[in-house]
Chain A
């Protein structure tokens, strides 16, 4: 349970979605074939720009395998024409050897180029896929990120794309090389003796039969071991994150036992998979060797009875053995192919996810021009993460430019939903949210995000210098601007005390800064990006009261002259707001300044007493 859910609203809608997720197939190849086919077609569109490269690969492959395949043919000529009958001179034999040497050299060069070309195309495709996937993900709305854990997204980004790249480097290569080899061998066999070759064709249905028989079973065992592996990994990852608890509660042995349970069941699945694979590969092996025996018998009788040249029989026997090599190596690609197919399918599903927020941007230039002062209006807003369960029930609110609004309420009252709508993380179900008279749905998203600034409870720092984190790697923001922002929020002194000053490298983990210092940097970020509306969502919840004071000062500086919405469950944070709104189950129930609300003696007044450690006597638990 590493992911955070600051609001129970989020939890409610997760509960709702849990059902779908459990019903959906486990991430494996059990998707209908139709979906798989689309996924492959999608991948094919990525391969298109590399058409010429792939043509080059085929050409290289033809030359590379020809040397290998013509060798028995050359020996046949040597046997039939020079050794068993014919002139008995050494010259032609040497010539044949020379020819073969030349072929081998060609094969060396071309098989090198072939694998280089395949890799170049494959890696190029995967790079493009990764970049496109990232671009796509960065366009998806927050509702998508509520659903997907970041862990599985990372798996898609690196693991699944890596598997797809293996498809190119291993499966594709094998299909080209081994597929062409098969065709060549068949061709040569027909050249040598059509009758014998005709008999060999009988092998094809046999091979198909074996493959078909194993296919379903192999797929099942493969999926089973994959599922069990991911369970084992999830268990381990979680226990590593919570190891201090395991140790503090002395549960090492019990967790070891549970680990071993999963470890063992993965092992069992592995053995089943191995058994299937060994049987599968060996049955081809056996079939290949039996075919040689069959050809020897058949061919021997032909040589005996019908005067077939022995050299032909020799070449034939060699070819029929070679015939099974490519088949064997293609079947060994089976697992990679299956993994790639599953991965491709998952990646494709991501690509097909559309953002829940349609880009409308119908506001014209004149309307957009009007935006600036930062007047916010909520009009009869109804909203629920699940439309059946409204979180906001007809909320109306007018915020004047430059006004500071404090919002309080118990968890689940709808505070965060309110600001999510203003940031357009979600769209309203009824009513409207507008800024300076323009509906947020009509403002281009990128523009809207720069108008509305948001500071959350957990400031997120990217790995990079402090400077990079303040200007978010945007080269259009000058270093001086960033420094100025830091001075403005009072972070400058602190930053210059650090060993590398503004160049100090930060990262999400272990940045060496305290929670308050990190929050200060995120304030500087806001200053640099100059939003006209500022939202602080529990921005000071993780700070202790004295650090909070420093942050409060920065906050006062940042919010001066800006429309500011502050959410807090600690009243000290919002007591000085121009107006305080009290929310309960989706509506605004009280509104006024701190003094006014205390005077009313309502919910706010009671909340205030609680925060002072003086619960009203009637509700105090016994003891």
Chain B
């Protein structure tokens, strides 16, 4: 399935493209008058009819041709390049929009690097083909065409013209032969380059390990192999493309050889004047450059066709999570009921969640605890519909979660993920991410609740401090707290804390837990954690293990019960009663 991209754009901009082509065409037609002027000039000279006036007139005509050609061709060229850039811009916009619609499943399969390369490389390659390509092809084709027409009009015998340009007829078969082969090799070269980039990325990411184990020579050898791969594939490409690019001008030269001989014969036998002979050689010369250009353009086009297809494919892929036709608004103040929820990641044999039953009651705090890989985060993502739960498994009030509009569902949930991802804008902008018009005091109070306020005040620019590569880098714990403030500012009916304070030290954690309990009193909260200290106050604690609910109850109930929870509690409490024996 494909979404047409290029054709509609070209169709929409047809008048402008038409104008550009017209300008280039006129420019070239004007330019092809030039051999004619010189030819006449020669004939007059031979007839000894040359006068100073005639000389000046010829010179002026040539100057006029120069001016007209430059302005016409220049404006046509500008117009076409501008249209190309505009296409690039529109396509980028659509790509980004598509990125925001694709779901978790897509992101899990594709790396950021490969998605970025759509915006960066593919779009560029298509743009180059349609602007540089359009430009040069138009130029070349028109120049060729007008040269042929002018030759025909100049009174040269058609048979002679045909003989002179005959070597040029070999160009299409040569292009057809070389084109796909060059494309194949250039694709291979691109792949090698991508592999090298990937290797560089990995090696730099693991530099600390490499240095720590002093295995630099091994890693140099690994990276070196990738570099050699690029070298080899590039040379393979060059061998072919150089031959191709040398062949095309050769055909032009061959035409000139024929012209010299055949034209000379006709001039000597009186078939044509010397002036016609002069313009004939000039015409053939005029044709050589455009032919070379066509060769270049074909190479560019070959490369860009694959890119265009890639973009079209991406744009055509339907986001797998969308509002259903009968979507309703999210019911207010409703309990969330999870019944028999089984979820399997694509390509995985074991279900991540296995027949899970769970109630998240309105106004209460529910907690999920379990080891890594027990399915806690999967459940959170299903609640947000980042991934699609099976029909009927999750209900909010009366409505199946799949029949709730995404806008109202996600609008009512504040999600605080474990990784504490922040954008490289200011700290304040990050906190006010879901509420761009949040007041200073709203940001302040959320950051107090998340225990990041003191930190923010220590920065010179406070909440206006820029984060990220060009600004301040926060520690893992600080990022988690800022991300928590971002969730709290939303004041959403449902707050999901997905292991949100795991990188925060124990002292700060207990302060955060108390402050969240305070601000979320009477509102629904789902806490996911693997530390008991983070969840012990919850109204209900559900223990997940390998995707199944193994225990549920309050902290006190679960402590009394034999099982995973009590075991974990004693583990985390550690040598409380037998402290000191470890020494």
Contacts and interface: CB of A to CB of B under 8 A. Distances in A.
A123 B232 CA distance: 9
A22 B470 contact: yes
Given A300-B50, A314-B278, A525-B213, A5 B474 contact: yes
Interface class of chain B by DSSP: helix
A79 B264 CA distance: 9
B5 interface: no
B227 interface: yes
B70 interface: yes
Contacts of A259: 92-93, 96
A245 B208 contact: no
B220 A296 contact: no
A134 B220 contact: yes
Given A150-B204, A243-B107, A293-B62, A300 B41 contact: yes
Given A285-B70, A623-B514, A613 B503 contact: no
A475 B222 CA distance: 12
Contacts of A100: 253, 256-257, 260
Contact of A127 (B218, B230, B289): B230
Contacts of A447: 214
B231 interface: yes
- A75, A240, A325 — most chain B CB neighbours (10 Å): A240
Interface in B201-226: 201-216, 218-224
B239 interface: yes
Nearest to B529: A544
Q: Which of A131, A453, A613 has the most CB of B within 10 A?
A: A613
Contacts of A619: 511
B511 A4 contact: no
Contacts of A56: none
A275 B77 CA distance: 10
Given A157-B200, A613-B536, 14 more contacts: A83-B267, A93-B261, A100-B257, A116-B238, A154-B197, A233-B119, A243-B102, A245-B417, A263-B96, A595-B583, A596-B583, A610-B507, A611-B506, A621-B515
Nearest to A88: B268
A21 interface: yes
Nearest to A149: B469
The range of chain B's interface size is 35 or more
Interface string B189-202: 00001001100111
A525 B211 CA distance: 14
A313 B426 CA distance: 70
Interface in A252-294: 252, 254-256, 259-260, 263-264, 266-267, 270-271, 274-275, 278-279, 282-283, 285-286, 288-290, 292-294
Contacts of A75: 260, 281
B385 to A, nearest CB: 9
Nearest to B471: A18
Interface in B457-511: 459, 467-479, 486, 490, 502-503, 505-507, 509-511
Do most interface residues of chain A lie in helix, strand or loop, or is the interface mixed? helix
A547 B568 CA distance: 11
A547 B74 contact: no
A113 B156 CA distance: 38
A594 B261 contact: no
A10 B93 contact: no
B19 to A, nearest CB: 16
B78 A275 contact: yes
- Of all A-B residue pairs in the complex, the 6 with the closest CB atoms, nearest first, are A595-B580, A289-B66, A593-B583, A297-B59, A576-B582, A544-B530
A33 B156 CA distance: 57
A30 B83 CA distance: 30
B572 A572 contact: yes
Contact of B201 (A150, A303, A304, A594): A150
B215 A474 contact: yes
B126 to A, nearest CB: 15
Contact of B82 (A119, A252, A274, A579): A274
16 contacts: A1-B424, A127-B227, A134-B220, A158-B197, A240-B99, A249-B433, A249-B490, A293-B63, A317-B38, A423-B212, A514-B372, A546-B371, A576-B582, A594-B579, A615-B514, A621-B515
Interface stretch (A137-145, A371-379, A389-397, A432-440): A137-145
Contact of B250 (A104, A234, A595): A104
A596 B93 CA distance: 64
B424 A10 contact: no
A258 to B, nearest CB: 9
B227 A130 contact: yes
Nearest to B55: A300
A246 interface: yes
Contacts of B205: 150, 460, 508
B152 interface: no
A466 B503 CA distance: 28
A353 interface: no
A154 B582 contact: no
Contact of B424 (A97, A238, A549): A238
Interface in A115-137: 115-116, 119-120, 123-124, 126-127, 130-131, 134-135, 137
Given A153-B204, A474-B215, A411 B505 contact: yes
Contact of A278 (B50, B61, B77, B530): B77
B268 A90 contact: yes
Contacts of A380: none
Nearest to A159: B197
A302 B186 CA distance: 53
A514 B371 CA distance: 11
A445 to B, nearest CB: 8
A532 interface: no
B187 interface: no
B139 to A, nearest CB: 12
A116 B242 contact: yes
B169 interface: no
B52 A289 contact: no
B56 A79 contact: no
Interface string B229-249: 011001100110011011101
Contacts of A124: 231
Given A127-B227, A263-B89, A473 B73 contact: no
A79 B274 CA distance: 8
A575 interface: yes
A139 B214 CA distance: 10
Interface in B10-59: 34, 38, 41-42, 45-46, 50-52, 55-56, 58-59
